[in-house]
Amino acid sequence: MRYLWRRLGHAVLVLLGVSFLTFVLAGAAPGSFVDELRLDPRVSPETIEAMRVRYGLNDTLPGQYLRWLQSIGRGEFGFSIAYNGPVAPLLWPRIRNTLLLTVPATLLSWLIALPLGTWSAGRRGGWLDRVAAGATTTLLGIPELVLGLGLLLLAVRTGYLPVGGMTSLNFEEMGRWQRVRDVIVHLVLPVTALTLVSLPILVRHVRASVGEVVRARFIQAARASGVPERRLLVRHALRTAANPLISLFGLSLAGLLSASLVIETIMSWPGLGPLLLDAVAARDLHVVVAAVSCSTVLLVAGNLLADGLLYLADPRLRPERA
């Protein structure tokens, strides 16, 4: 368990470092939310100064950061000037929506990448390997923005899927199962976009990892002894190549979170991405830091999950059982 506790300690240090660095960079940017009010002649300088004192904008950055950490203990995650309230009620629905988008995309990407990459590694130079290589190369060359806009154009031309948003206008009037169906239908486009973004990298990594194992001597000996090819790939080669793929699982979440920032904004999905962009435009410091910190928490949680799976899969990480 010391391995997992050590990884958890590293995760806490990463969270503190990212939040402090984000706070420093966002706070060092010129201007603030109340500075835009100076352009309004109806707002007096005394009112602006009172707002700066109220929101603690006159304090030093370390002092503001310590106050922000104290607000986390109270469950507030700071105070939003633009929304005139604590940040936490703004975050939880956005985190839920981002997870609702990224979790199915992650599962779908791996469910496609594992069999496709494994079969391509076992059939190097075959027609499936060539088709997979051409498709992954094409998808890697398409920017996320172009891919999202292309899917939106397809939805507009066909009319089969809703264009953007998370729910329909009459969502509140629907029954329970109709609401579930409506959300699932709205999920199709953004989940497809995120899956197509991450799929090429995963397929290539699976193909490379399994292909290296396939050339090992024990695999060649098993093939010579008459072990069926499918069993050889799935039960032996893929299991042997599991360690780098488990580590890749945590890294794939980072790619999906960065891609979801673009996809959520293009497709009007109410996740962390649009909230972060609006906060940056409004210079809402605490919302920016809280949104970036929540994205880091999701990334660290994915890496911790990958570390836990690696701990279970690799006996070398369990010296007490070695």
Question: Which pLDDT tens digit goes with each residue over 192-241?
Answer: 999 998 888 888 888 888 888 877 777 777 777 777 777 777 777 777 77
Instruction: Please give the distance of CA 133 from its chain centroid, rounded to a whole number.
Output: 25
pLDDT of residue 51: 75
What is the average pLDDT value for the chain, to the nearest integer?
A: 81
Average pLDDT over residues 48-76: 80
Phi first, then psi, for residue 95 (nearest 5°) are -65, -45
pLDDT at 322 over 70: no
C-alpha–C-alpha distance, residues 50 and 88, integer Å:
24
Question: Which of 31 and 312 is assigned the larger pLDDT?
Answer: 312
pLDDT of residue 319: 59
State which of 151-160, 208-217, 240-249, 312-321 shows the largest mean pLDDT: 151-160
141: number of Cβ within 10 Å: 9
The CA R_g of the chain, rounded to the nearest whole Å, is 24
C-alpha–C-alpha distance, residues 300 and 293, integer Å:
10
C-alpha–C-alpha distance, residues 11 and 301, integer Å:
8
Q: In order of start, what are the domains of the chain with their CATH numbers? A: 100-282 (1.10.3720.10)
Of 229, 215, 200, residue with least CA distance to 119: 229
Question: Which of 302 and 191 is assigned the larger pLDDT?
Answer: 191
pTM, to two decimals: 0.81
Of 154, 251, 160, residue with least CA distance to 202: 251
Q: Which residue has the tokens 């893929």?
A: 238
Of 75, 98, 122, 85, residue with least CA distance to 229: 122
Average pLDDT over residues 253-261: 77
> By percentage, how much of the chain surpasses pLDDT 90?
2
pLDDT tens by residue, 12-35 = 888 888 888 888 887 777 766 776
